[in-house]
Amino acid sequence: MAKRRMSFLVAPLMLAALTIQVAAEEQLDEDFILRQLARVQREVRDFTADLVQEKRISLLQKEIISHGVIQYKRPDKLLIELFDPDPSLMILDGHSLWLYFKREKVAQRYSLGSNPLFMRYLTLFDQPFNERWGKLASVRREGDLVVLDLIPGEADAIFSKVTLWVSTEDWFIRRLLLSEKSGDSTSLSYENIRVNIGIPDSRFRIDLPVDVEILQPPL
């Protein structure tokens, strides 16, 4: 359960750079990228996309592929629903983090206000390259994609590196790779991205069946 919980906690970083614009020249400029990222992020009020998650567990030498949807609304609402192989739901409603494991009929609730780790990741939605958290280590091209490596600067960060693949066609992220210090990694691919469609707040309210056990684990 702890490992699965950690997989959900990485989810907020999927939004670290939803959209980005880069220089058209062969030589990419870091300052230009950061300025454009900040500008474009301000324009994104909400977004929805189909999601493919590939989770690699190093100790088990195993890969788990899941399909689902992701929705985000500024400044602090997030929904991730996975349909297979283990149906689950994660909701950030601005006050609490909910993790609902449908097959087990168990939900876990965490208070965001009492956990600085959750709040720190929430700030990444609007300021993905905040110097207090980490820095942009490298920028390179791979065909029609721009690839960015982000190195966290905090000793207690979960990740050793975050890598983004950005399409030069529409400047949306196509793939995100989260590399954990444990050796595990999570690859997230976005498809059918739609921006600023007016997602209602009600989408981020959890509605649990009456037979679900609700837990509030210690932080």
Least confident of 1-5, 115-119, 182-186: 1-5
Q: Look at residue 211 and tell me if it is in a domain.
A: no
The sign of the torsion formed by the CA atoms of 100, 177, 68, 85 equals negative
Specify the pLDDT at position 126: 46
CA distance linking residue 61 with residue 56, whole number of Å: 7
Q: Look at residue 18 and tell me if it is in a domain.
A: yes
CATH number at residue 199: 2.50.20.10
Q: Look at residue 158 and tell me if it is in a domain.
A: yes
Q: Are the C-beta atoms of 80 and 8 separated by less than 8 Å?
A: yes
Q: Look at residue 54 and tell me if it is in a domain.
A: yes
Specify the pLDDT at position 173: 79
Least confident of 78-87, 113-122, 169-178: 113-122
Q: Look at residue 216 and tell me if it is in a domain.
A: no
How many domains does the structure of the chain reveal? 1
Mean pLDDT of 52-62: 90
User: In sequence order, what DSSP letters do the residues of 29-87 get, joined into one string?
Assistant: -HHHHHHHHHHHHHH-SEEEEEEEEEEEETTTTEEEEEEEEEEEETTTEEEEEEEESS-
Q: Look at residue 217 and tell me if it is in a domain.
A: no
- Tens digits of per-residue pLDDT, 9-20? 454 444 444 444
Domain of residue 146, residue span: 2-205
Please state, as a whole number, how many other Cβ atoms lie within 10 Å of the Cβ of residue 120: 16
Specify the pLDDT at position 117: 58
Tell me which H or E stretch contains 163: strand 159-167
- Tens digits of per-residue pLDDT, 191-200? 999 999 999 9
Q: Which one of 21-25, 31-35, 52-56, 75-79 scores highest in mean pLDDT?
A: 52-56
